[in-house]
Every structure is written in structure tokens, then in C-alpha cells.
Amino acid sequence: MKREEELKIIERILNGETALYNQLVNLHAPRILSVVRGVVSGREDAEEVAQDVFVKAYFSLKSFRGECSFSTWLFRIAFNMSVSKARQRRTEHMPVENSASIPDTSSESREESMDRENRFRMLYKAIDELEPSDRFLILSFYNHEKSIKEICDICGMTESNVKVRLHRIKKKLGVMLGDKMEVCYG
């Protein structure tokens, strides 16, 4: 859906055609669910947070001025809600690796494939040990292909801050991955 069409739908919702909100929900639910599931542990909790994101967005629709895309605006709400929920439940966090599937490795030899599989498992563990806000940041950047500018809008940080933070997370993950490989392979 084009941005103009989305803005028109929002305008119609604000004018009383509230049933149209379902269209926006159906359009954005997969990405919001995906990003929230990456931050909040437990499928049910993540789905609850994703629902609350859409409820909050509905009641704040008046404040959406179209300066950024509706998707980025939703991501901002999802960022605030999922990070605070994840911080609340940090002690009970279910590891990401439990729900993650290893990407297809059919073209590689068995050894290569096992090595790759191990690397992914360790990477998932390392990602799981990150701060919820850092997880959200790298998920938005690598999985949802949000630009640096969009991440600035989502997290309320400056461009240089986002770049520095992404670089630090990458470095941290590299170190964590190295440590885990060392423990695993000696």
C-alpha cells in the first residue's frame, strides 16, 4: 500500500470509519509481530504486546502527522512497549534460539553445515544476551531493513548515535561469538 493511500485511510478512520483500521492491522501485523517476538519472550506475551501496540496506535492516531511512514511510527510504539515488557520479564526470558530455525544449508557439505549450524546457535545465544533495546535495534536494521534514518525516528536517537550503537552491538556480538566458539571448540 502506498503512503498516500495509507494517509487517506487514516484520515477516514479519524473521520469515523473505524472499521477501516482492520486494513492497517492486517497490513502491518506480520512485521510488528516479528519484531516484538524477537524482543519479548514467550509467544503469548509477544502477541499480547503486539495487540497492545495496535490498540495504543489506534488511540494515538490523531497524533500521527505523517512525518514518517506509518510503519516506522508503529515500530516506535512497538519499540517502547516491547523493550519495557522485556525489561520487566528479563529474568524469565526464554532464549531466542528456542524459536529460531537455522537457515537452509543444503548446498554445503555435512561438516560445513554442522559448523554453520553451531555458529548460528551460538549467535542466537549471543543475541539473546543483548539488552532488549539493542535486540530491537539490530532486528529493525538487519531483519526489517529499516534505514538508519528510520531507526533514528523509532528510537529517538541521533544518526551518529544509531551508527555507533549498531557498531558496538556488532562488535559485542563478535566478541561473544568468539568466546562461545572458544568454549565449544577449545
Partner 1 sequence: MDEMDKLLKDAFSGMDDSSVPFGFAEKIGKKIDAAAVKKADREELVRNILLAVLFAILFMTALFFLNKYFFNIDSVRISGIFSEMPDFGGKMKTLFGSGDSVLWIVIGMNVALLLLAERILARKLSARDKNRSDI
Site of interaction with partner 1 (CB under 8 A): 21-22, 25-26, 29-31, 33-34, 37-38, 47, 50-52, 54-55, 58-59, 96, 99-103, 119-120, 123-124, 127, 138-139, 142-143, 170, 173-174
Nearer to partner 1, 55 or 67 (CB): 55
Nearer to partner 1, 99 or 113 (CB): 99
Q: How far is the CB of 11 from partner 1 (least distance, A)?
A: 18
Q: How far is the CB of 59 from partner 1 (least distance, A)?
A: 7
Q: Is 104 helix (H, G, I), strand (E, B) or coil?
A: coil
**Residue 100 burial class via C-beta count within 10 angstroms: exposed 0-12, middle 13-18, buried 19 and up:** middle
Q: How far is the CB of 34 from partner 1 (least distance, A)?
A: 4
Q: How far is the CB of 84 from partner 1 (least distance, A)?
A: 18
Nearer to partner 1, 64 or 120 (CB): 120
Nearer to partner 1, 47 or 67 (CB): 47
Nearer to partner 1, 37 or 67 (CB): 37
- Spatial separation of the C-alpha atoms in residues 83 and 145, rounded to whole Å: 19
Q: How far is the CB of 20 from partner 1 (least distance, A)?
A: 12
